[in-house]
């Protein structure tokens, strides 16, 4: 089978697509793999926040259109960018083994969170990261930061910020991990749902592809991804909501932690549930409902109103 991969054009997206292409090319059923680089609205509109232009789903819409039109067979995504509800007719046929889940601080002069000067400017457009930074350091000034990884690093280098926050996995995949001055532990900063996970999407109607793609699926990562994305779905949280979640598996047991906070860090709710790893969806839903019982809906409504 010949497989065409729809991908964004950023260096990180192309790295991920090539990574999947190499894995597919090793399968006996696959005769050739071709990349179909596309530009998305999320990549093109850099002067507005993602909340105002429709959320991170804007990074994948054009890729799904390419599959519907027959211009591509599959799309490769960072799963943290994929809305909790996949559009009708599509499926996530496989997730690869999770890379580094952590958020990373990239500080000028190798600053860490506790050595940043009072009132330091930190670049991040994520309300999730902003809220947790404010929980650690209420004095920090969090300012919007958009663009690809190299663009963000360049803004730090020219003095726009004292530090920026990026996903450690993205920096590592691009060979830029030497810029990291601190990796946050889950106790300090919980990641976004499925952060560090690469997912492969295809049309459900393609009878052959899901079975082939399934050979690349990593079972444990699938379970943690299901649990974490269930939380976002039940909370009706977008990729830009101040919601964080992280699931870990130890033998056959899974522990899931979730957090909902106001972007200014003035209020937060955090909770944890544990159970059987093969009960991932129920665990995620249980945790989300516990967060709702503790007032998560009110925090999310307040966060949304403040950033409309």
CA-CA distance, 217 to 81, in Å (whole number)?
Answer: 18
Which residue reads 């330091």 in tokens?
Answer: 120
- Residue 279 is among the residues annotated as catalytic for this protein: no
Nearest to 256 by CA among 270, 268, 272: 272
CA distances from 107 to 23, 101, 111, 157, 262 (A): 35, 19, 5, 10, 24
CA dihedral 125, 143, 49, 105 (to 10 degrees): -20
Please pick, among 81, 160, 252, 271, the residue that the annotation labels catalytic. Answer: 81
Residues forming a β-bridge with 268: 261
Active site residue ranges: 81
């Amino acid at each position: 089978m010949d497989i065409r991969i729809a991908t964004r054009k950023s260096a990180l997206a192309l790295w991920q697509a090539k990574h999947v292409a190499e894995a597919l090319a090793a399968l006996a059923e696959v005769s050739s793999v071709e990349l179909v680089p596309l530009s998305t609205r999320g990549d093109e509109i850099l002067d507005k926040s993602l909340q105002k232009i429709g959320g991170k789903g804007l990074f994948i819409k054009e890729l799904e259109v390419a599959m519907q039109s027959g211009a591509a067979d599959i799309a490769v995504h960072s799963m943290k960018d994929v809305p909790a509800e996949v559009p009708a007719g599509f499926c996530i046929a496989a997730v690869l083994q999770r890379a580094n889940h952590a958020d990373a601080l990239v500080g000028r002069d190798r600053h860490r969170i506790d050595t940043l000067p009072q009132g330091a400017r930190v670049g991040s457009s994520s309300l999730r990261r902003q809220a947790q930074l404010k929980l650690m350091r209420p004095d920090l000034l969090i300012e919007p930061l958009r663009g690809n990884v190299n663009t963000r690093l360049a803004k730090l280098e020219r003095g726009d910020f004292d530090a920026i926050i990026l996903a450690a996995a993205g920096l590592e995949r691009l060979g830029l991990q030497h810029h990291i001055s601190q990796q946050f532990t889950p106790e300090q900063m919980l990641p976004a749902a499925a952060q560090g996970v690469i997912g492969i999407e295809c049309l459900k109607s393609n009878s052959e592809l899901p079975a082939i793609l399934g050979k690349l699926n990593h079972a444990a990562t699938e379970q943690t991804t299901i649990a974490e994305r269930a939380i976002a779905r039940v909370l009706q949280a977008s990729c830009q909501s101040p919601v964080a979640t992280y699931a870990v598996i130890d033998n056959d047991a899974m522990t899931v932690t979730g957090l909902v906070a106001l972007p200014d860090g003035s209020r937060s709710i955090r909770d944890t549930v544990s159970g059987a790893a093969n009960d991932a969806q129920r665990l995620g839903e249980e945790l989300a409902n516990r967060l709702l019982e503790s007032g998560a809906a009110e925090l999310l409504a307040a966060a949304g109103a403040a950033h409309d």
